Amino acid sequence: MERHNSCINTKAVIDYVEERDPSLLTPLLEDLDPRTERDRGPERPSSVNANNWVSTDVLIRLYDRLKKLFKNDNVVFGNRV
């Protein structure tokens, strides 16, 4: 798995969810990438560490889940539509 995306991006999404509705963290992160999160719970994955990197597939999956959970296709872009 090639990792091209800084976890700064995943941390921003996780922080956003924690601030707005922490109850959505588990559905957001559950089984997001079992290859990298095997030994960690969904509460604080390694993907919040800005020094780590994730694959584009994981980042896209995270963004898709965020959009579904908040029922807003523009949530990733910060629009409040």
Q: Give residue-wise pLDDT tens across range 23-68.
A: 999 999 888 876 655 444 444 555 567 778 888 898 899 999 999 9
Identify the pLDDT of residue 45: 55
> Checking phi first, is residue 71 left (phi over 0); if not, alpha (psi -120 to 50) or beta?
left
pTM: 0.76
What tens digit of pLDDT does each residue of 5-33 get? 888 888 889 999 999 999 999 999 888 87
Q: What is the pLDDT of residue 39?
A: 44
Q: Is the pLDDT of residue 81 over 50?
A: no
Residue 80 has pLDDT above 60, yes or no: no
- Rounded to the nearest 10°, the torsion over CA 38, 20, 57, 68 is 110
Domain count, the chain: 1
Domain span holding position 12: 5-77
